[in-house]
A and B are shown apart, each in its own frame.
Chain A
Amino acid sequence: MRGALTVFRKEISDYFSSKIFIILLALIYVAGLGFAFLSIQAIKSAPLSTDQSLLVKVFIDEMFFLKLYTVGEIKAIMTFNLVRFFGAFIPLIGILFGFNAINSERNSGNMSRLLSQPIYRDSLINGKFLAGITTLSIMIGSIILIILGIGFRAIGVPPTSEEILRIFVFIIICIIYGTFWMSLSLLFSVLMKNVAAAILTAIPIWLFLTFFWPYIAPQLANLITPVTEGSSLAVQLKNISLSVDLLRISPFILFYESTAAIVDPTLGHLALRITESDLSKMIASPLSLSQSFIQIWPQLIVIIALALICFGVSYIVFIKQEIRST
Chain B
Amino acid sequence: MNINIDTVSKNKIIKKNEMNSENMNENLIVAENLTKQYNGKSVVSNLNLTINRGEIFGLLGPNGAGKSTIILMMLGLTEPSSGSIKVAGYNSTREPIKVKRITGYLPEKLGFYEDLTARQNLKYTAELNSIPEKELDSRIQESLEIVGLEKNKNQAVGTFSKGMKKRLGIADVLIKNPQLAILDEPTEGLDLKIANQILENIQILNREKNITFLISSHQLNLIQKICTRIGIMSRGKLIGEGKIDLLGRGLFAEGKYIIEIELSEVTGNIIEQLKKIDKVLNAEMHDNLIEITCDDDVRPQISKLVVENNLLLTRMNIKDSSLEEIYLKYFKEE
Contacts and interface: CB of A to CB of B under 8 A. Distances in A.
Q: What band does the interface of chain B fall in when counting residues whose beta carbon is under 8 Å from A?
A: 20 to 34
Interface stretch (A42-50, A67-75, A108-116, A262-270): A108-116
B109 A326 contact: yes
Contacts, number: 79
B130 interface: yes
A281 interface: no
Contact of B113 (A3, A110, A326): A110
Given A112-B105, A115-B77, A324-B68, A3 B111 contact: no
A18 to B, nearest CB: 8
Interface residues of A, number: 26
A6 B127 contact: yes
B128 A112 contact: no
B106 to A, nearest CB: 8
A10 B124 contact: yes
A322 interface: yes
A118 interface: yes
A314 B251 CA distance: 51
Nearest to A2: B130
* A2, A3, A112, A325: most-surrounded residue (chain B CB, <10 A): A325
B128 A325 contact: no
Interface centre among A3, A118, A120, A322 (most CB of B within 10 A): A118
A52 interface: no
B78 A325 contact: no
Contact of A325 (B107, B113, B127, B169): B107
Given A6-B127, A323-B78, A325-B184, A113 B107 contact: yes
A10 B176 CA distance: 19
Q: Chain A interface secondary structure, helix, strand, loop or mixed?
A: helix
B261 interface: no
A115 B176 CA distance: 14
A325 B129 contact: no
Interface string B102-117: 0111111111111000
B75 A116 contact: yes
Interface string A87-114: 0000000000000000001001111111
Interface in B86-100: 97-98, 100
A110 B114 CA distance: 10
B154 to A, nearest CB: 15
Decide if the interface of chain B is mainly helix, strand, loop or mixed. mixed
Q: Which of B78, B104, B128 has the most CB of A within 10 A?
A: B128
Contacts of A105: 111
Which among B103, B111, B112, B125 has the greatest number of chain A C-beta atoms within 10 A? B111
Nearest to B97: A118
Nearest to A7: B128
Given A6-B124, A113-B111, A325 B97 contact: no
Contact of A116 (B103, B108, B113): B103
A110 B111 contact: yes
Contacts of B176: 117
Contact of B100 (A7, A14, A116): A116
A9 B124 CA distance: 10
Contact of A6 (B71, B75, B128, B184): B128
B299 interface: no
Contacts of B108: 325-326
A67 to B, nearest CB: 44
B110 A118 contact: no
Contacts of B113: 14, 108, 110
B149 to A, nearest CB: 17
Interface in A92-149: 105, 108-120
Contacts of A119: 97, 100, 128
B97 A112 contact: no
Interface string B156-189: 0000000000000100100010000000100000
Interface string A1-23: 01100110110001000000000
A113 B75 CA distance: 11
Contacts of B106: 113
Given A115-B77, A323-B77, 19 more contacts: A6-B127, A9-B127, A105-B111, A108-B111, A109-B111, A112-B107, A113-B172, A114-B128, A116-B100, A117-B128, A117-B176, A118-B100, A118-B130, A322-B78, A324-B68, A324-B72, A325-B68, A325-B184, A326-B108
15 contacts: A6-B128, A10-B124, A14-B113, A113-B112, A115-B77, A116-B103, A117-B128, A117-B176, A118-B98, A118-B101, A118-B130, A119-B128, A323-B72, A325-B107, A325-B184
Interface of A: 2-3, 6-7, 9-10, 14, 105, 108-120, 322-326
